[in-house]
């Protein structure tokens, strides 16, 4: 049992805004009160107390990420090193950290829950194996569905109801938590080297299936299945100049259905080509503010080395041609694909400067912090362990201005950031890094410090250097265990995995089996991930 006393508590979900109050913990949960001789007290005077961070969109495990590790030894050779000790496993940080290091690095920011945002069913077993080896954080997965050809084939036939059962079956087979849609129709088109750029045009290989149809029907399926997390959507035309129109069109197509719009920064550009690229964050934010059915994460970029990893194959081929550097591509039969391209964002590059501004603009212009969350689409825009740099930029307008002054002149007239004075409060930060994403993920036990919540609690020094503050938590409690103490990781605990079991018609398996045997290359029995593969699975029944 444990009492945290004297700290200023930021618990926006329970409308606690910086009050000095005690937080009591027993049995891994927040409780009203603890008493007795065996209560440990942590004196948090001078510290702020936050619910543990929640990353709504990150790439930390699985085939694509592991592919990136193989491709970029240069990004790990000079990265943070984790030396093994009786408590800790060895590892490397960098752009795609090893699994153990991923857990340590997240804990080193005060994060306790992460959502791996792109999992193919076919290799989900691999993802779960990696997540098992990712300590100190709880985990969930979004499963890639919007290019699953067996589902698209059903949409082509107008069999939406059966498609819904198939989707639900796949989600359970993958032991996933949510449904991910990446470049709907575009990834399957990429299997022929093509893309799906126009929402209303049929996807190559289909006559009736359009990206718009995939988006609207899949969002509806997710709502009908009553999944805790809305459809997690990576829009078409990621990264392309002028893609603002596609993004707004996508929001209209959703027609009131819930959706989480991933890495919005990459979808908020005006202009016709790279030379005329400009920020359209104002237009996007204004439209988004009026759509209460939607949440979003920023997908902000920071200058420096990154590696882009996405199921968006055609975009990755373009990026490879633009950079002339390395290119990895892995198409996954009947389901999805992925591309890997190392990339360096340069402050001197006009396009990168605009991207940098757009991420911050969206965070500052979307007026409800409950609907926009801090992410970098790790490792695409920047590595997650750089979040504190973004928090500092959001909380300190003077610092932001200093950074803007260093941007190339060409970029300044293409962005809105210089005219924005808003500064985030600590409470708003607590929303965008914890309370908001927890709510969007539909995890009632996360992102707050009310009675009954998981005792994931982080204590930061109240430091005017917000980057230092959020990069060096003094204490972190995971499920009530003190895992970071005086800034050092002291204890290894395994995280849980959240999964959903949606209801579906069992007969769907009879429909699927012959198709599977015809189109796939493994035995049908081996396709679903066995429950034993997961460590500490926390199952939510839905629908």
Partner 1 sequence: MITLTLKEQPEVPIEAEALSPDVVSKLGNDELRALPIFYGKRQLRLDEFFEVEGELSEELEIHGDASRVKWLGRGMTHGQLRIVGNAGMHLGAFMKGGTIDVTGNASDWIGAEMSGGLIRVGGNAGGQIGAAYRGTLTGMTAGTIVVEGSAGLEVGMRMKRGTIVIKGMAKDFTGLEMKGGTIILGGAELRTGAWMNRGTIISLTPIPLLPTFAYNCSYNPTFLRVYARELAGLGISLPFEESEGSYESYSGDAAVSRKGELLVWQPAG
Partner 2 sequence: MGGKVTCTLGEVKNRADFIIYWGGNPADCHPLHFSRYTLIPKGKHVPEGRKGRTMVLVDVRETPSAKHADILLQVKPGKDFEVITTLRALVKNQPVDAARVAETGLTLEQLQDFVDRMKNARFGVLFFGMGLSMTRGKHMNSAAALALVAELNAYTKFVSMPMRGHGNVTGADVVMRWTTGFPFGVSMSRGYPRFNPGEFSTIDVLVRGDNDATLVLGADPGATMPQPAIDHLARTPTIVLDPKVTHTSRLARVHITTATTGISAPGTVYRMDEIPLPLKPILESPYPTDEEVVHRILEKVKEKPAWTPASYKEVPCA
Binding site residues, Zn ion, CB under 5 A: 117, 377
Q: Closest separation between CB of residue 432 and partner 2, Å?
A: 29
Integer Cα distance of 524 and 509 in angstroms: 10
* Smallest distance from partner 1 to CB 74, Å: 4
Rank residues 129 and 465 by Cβ distance to partner 2 and give the closer one: 129
- Confirm if 24 and 451 have CB atoms less than 8 A apart: no
**Residue 338: CB minimum distance to Zn ion, A:** 10
Rounded CA-CA distance 351/320 in Å is 16
Query: Measured from the CB atom, is 69 or 386 closer to partner 2?
Result: 69
By CB under 8 A, is residue 192 in contact with partner 2?
yes
Q: Does 61 bind partner 2 (CB under 8 A)?
A: yes
Query: Binding partner 2 by CB under 8 A: which of 346, 488, 507, 519?
Result: 519
Q: What is the C-alpha separation between 159 and 512, in angstroms, rounded?
A: 14
Cβ–Cβ contacts within 10 Å for residue 298, how many? 29
Binding mask 68-87 for partner 1 (x = CB under 8 A): ---xxxxx-x----------
Residue 453's Cα: distance from chain center in Å?
22
Task: Provide the pairing of β-strand 8-11 with 16-20.
Answer: antiparallel
User: With respect to partner 1, which residue has the nearer C-beta, 71 or 426?
Assistant: 71
Give whole-number Cα distances, 351 to 310, 401, 414, 424, in Å: 20, 19, 10, 26
Q: Based on the shown chain and the rule CB under 8 A, indicate whether residue 121 belongs to the binding site for partner 2.
A: no
Q: Please give the residues from 128 up to 157 whose contact with partner 2 meets the rule CB under 8 A.
A: 129-130, 133, 149
CB of 307 to partner 1, least distance (A): 11
**CA 272 from centre of chain:** 29
Stretch that binds partner 2, among 180-188, 230-238, 273-281, 337-345 (CB under 8 A): 337-345
Query: What angle (nearest 5°) sits at the alpha carbon of residue 473, between those of residues 467 and 476?
Result: 150
Is residue 441 within 8 Å of 117, Cβ to Cβ? no
Q: Is 397 in the site for partner 2 (CB under 8 A)?
A: no
**Chosen residue from 101, 181, 233, 253 binding partner 2 by CB under 8 A:** 101
CA angle at 17 for the pair 12 and 18, rounded to the nearest 5°: 130
Measured distance CA(362)–CA(300) in Å, rounded = 9
* Residue 434 touches which of partner 2, Zn ion, partner 1, none (Cβ within 5-8 Å per kind): none
Site string for partner 2, 444-473 (x = CB under 8 A): ------------------------------
Comparison of 134 and 268: residue with beta carbon closer to partner 2: 134
Shortest approach of partner 1 to residue 266 CB, angstroms?
24
CA distances (Å), origin 384, targets 67, 182, 536: 18, 21, 24
# residues near partner 2 by CB under 8 A: 63
Please give the distance of CA 220 from its chain centroid, rounded to a whole number.
21
176 vs 132, 269, 276, 425, 436, CA distance in Å? 14, 32, 40, 34, 21
Q: Which is nearer to partner 2, 287 or 520 (CB)?
A: 520
DSSP string, 234-291: E-TTTT-TTTHHHHHHHHHHHTT--EEE--GGGG-EESSSTTT-EE-HHHHHHHHHT-
**Cα distance between residue 78 and residue 91, in whole Å:** 12
* Beta-sheet strands, E only, within 406-496: 457-461, 475-478, 481-485, 488-489
**DSSP-derived secondary structure for 56-86:** EEE--SSHHHHHHHHH-THHHHTS-EE---S
Q: For the CB of residue 58, give the shortest distance to Zn ion in the complex, in Å.
A: 8
Q: Is 33 in the site for partner 1 (CB under 8 A)?
A: no
State in angstroms the smallest separation of the CB of 289 from partner 1: 43
Cβ pair 515, 163 in contact under 8 A: no
Considering only residues 40, 208, 325, 513, which one is a binding residue for partner 1 as defined by CB under 8 A? 325
**Taking contact as CB under 8 A, which single stretch among the options 15-23, 190-198, 249-257, 534-542 is the one that binds partner 2?**
190-198
- Of the candidate spans 44-52, 60-68, 355-363, 486-494, the one that interacts with partner 2 by CB under 8 A turns out to be 60-68
226: left (phi over 0), alpha (psi -120 to 50) or beta: left
- Identified binder of partner 2 from the candidate list 42, 44, 48, 92, rule CB under 8 A: 92
Task: Round to whole Å and give the CA distance between 485 and 477.
Answer: 9
Q: Which of residues 489-508 bind partner 1 (CB under 8 A)?
A: none
- 344 is a site residue for partner 2 (CB under 8 A): no
Asked if 3 is part of the footprint of partner 2 (rule: CB under 8 A), the reply reads no
Of the candidates 10, 50, 67, 504, which one interacts with partner 2 according to CB under 8 A? 67
Q: How far is the CB of 73 from partner 1 (least distance, A)?
A: 4
Only one of the segments 158-166, 239-247, 326-334, 458-466 lies at the binding site for partner 2 (rule: CB under 8 A); that segment is 326-334
Task: Tell me: does residue 322 bind partner 1 (CB under 8 A).
Answer: no
Say whether 424 sits in a helix, a strand or coil: coil
Q: Considering only 218-226, 256-264, 328-336, 362-370, which stretch makes contact with partner 2 by CB under 8 A?
A: 328-336
319 touches 328 (CB < 8 A) = no
What is the CA 131 to chain-centroid distance, rounded? 15
Question: Based on CB atoms, which residue is closest to Zn ion, 195 or 377?
Answer: 377
Task: Name which of 53 and 342 has its Cβ closer to partner 1.
Answer: 342
Query: Is residue 40 a contact point for partner 1 (CB under 8 A)?
Result: no
Residue 536 binds: one of partner 1, Zn ion, partner 2, none (C-beta under 5 to 8 A by kind): none
Task: List residues near partner 1 by CB under 8 A.
Answer: 71-75, 77, 325
Instruction: Give contact residues for partner 2 (rule: CB under 8 A).
Output: 61, 63, 66-67, 69-71, 73, 76-77, 79, 81-86, 89-92, 94, 96-101, 122-123, 125-126, 129-130, 133, 149, 191-193, 317, 320-321, 324-334, 337, 340-341, 518-522, 526, 530
């Amino acid at each position: 049992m444990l009492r945290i006393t004297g700290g200023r508590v930021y618990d926006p979900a329970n409308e606690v805004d910086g009050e000095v109050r005690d937080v009591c913990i027993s049995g891994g949960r927040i409780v009203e009160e603890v008493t007795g001789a065996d209560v440990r007290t942590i004196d948090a005077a001078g510290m702020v107390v936050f619910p543990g961070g929640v990353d709504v969109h990150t790439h930390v495990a699985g085939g694509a990420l592991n592919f990136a590790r193989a491709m970029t030894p240069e990004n790990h050779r000079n990265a943070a090193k984790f030396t093994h000790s009786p408590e800790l496993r060895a590892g490397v940080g960098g752009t795609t950290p090893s699994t153990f290091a991923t857990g340590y690095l997240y804990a080193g920011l005060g994060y306790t829950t992460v959502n791996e945002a792109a999992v193919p069913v076919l290799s989900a077993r691999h993802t779960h194996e990696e997540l098992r080896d990712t300590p100190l954080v709880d985990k969930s997965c979004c499963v890639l569905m919007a290019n699953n050809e067996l589902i698209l084939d059903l949409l082509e036939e107008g069999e939406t109801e059966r498609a819904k059962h198939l989707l639900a079956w796949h989600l359970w087979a993958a032991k996933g938590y949510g449904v991910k849609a990446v470049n709907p129709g575009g990834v399957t088109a990429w299997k022929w080297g093509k893309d799906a750029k126009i929402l209303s045009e049929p996807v190559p290989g289909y006559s009736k299936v359009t990206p718009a149809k995939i988006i609207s029907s899949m969002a509806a399926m997710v709502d009908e299945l009553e999944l805790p997390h809305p459809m997690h959507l990576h829009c078409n035309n990621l990264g392309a100049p002028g893609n603002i129109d596609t993004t707004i069109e996508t929001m209209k197509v959703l027609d009131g259905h819930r959706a989480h719009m991933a890495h919005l920064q990459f979808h908020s550009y005006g202009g016709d080509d790279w030379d005329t690229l400009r920020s359209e964050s104002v237009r996007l934010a204004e439209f988004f503010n009026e759509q209460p059915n939607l949440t979003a994460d920023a997908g902000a970029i920071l200058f420096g080395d990154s590696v882009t990893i996405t199921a968006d194959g055609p975009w990755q081929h373009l990026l490879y041609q633009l950079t002339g550097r390395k290119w990895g591509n892995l198409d996954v039969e009947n389901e999805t694909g992925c591309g890997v391209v190392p990339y360096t964002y340069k402050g001197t590059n006009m396009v990168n400067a605009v991207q940098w501004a757009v991420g911050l603009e969206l965070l500052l212009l979307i007026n409800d912090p409950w609907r926009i969350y801090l992410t970098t689409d790790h490792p695409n825009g920047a590595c997650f362990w750089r979040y504190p740099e973004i928090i500092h930029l959001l909380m300190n307008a003077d610092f932001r201005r200093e950074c803007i002054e260093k941007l190339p002149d060409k970029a300044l007239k293409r962005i809105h950031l210089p005219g924005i004075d808003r500064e985030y409060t600590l409470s708003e930060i607590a929303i965008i890094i914890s309370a908001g994403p927890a709510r969007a993920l539909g995890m009632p036990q996360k992102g707050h410090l009310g009675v009954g919540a998981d005792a994931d609690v982080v204590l930061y020094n109240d430091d005017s250097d917000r980057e230092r503050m959020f990069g060096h938590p003094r204490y972190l409690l995971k499920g009530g265990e003190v895992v970071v103490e005086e800034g050092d990781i002291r204890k290894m605990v395994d995280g849980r995995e959240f999964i959903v079991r949606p209801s579906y018609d069992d007969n769907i398996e009879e429909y699927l089996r012959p198709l599977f045997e015809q189109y796939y290359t493994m035995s049908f029995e081996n396709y679903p991930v066995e429950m034993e593969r997961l460590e500490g699975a926390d199952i939510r029944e839905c629908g």
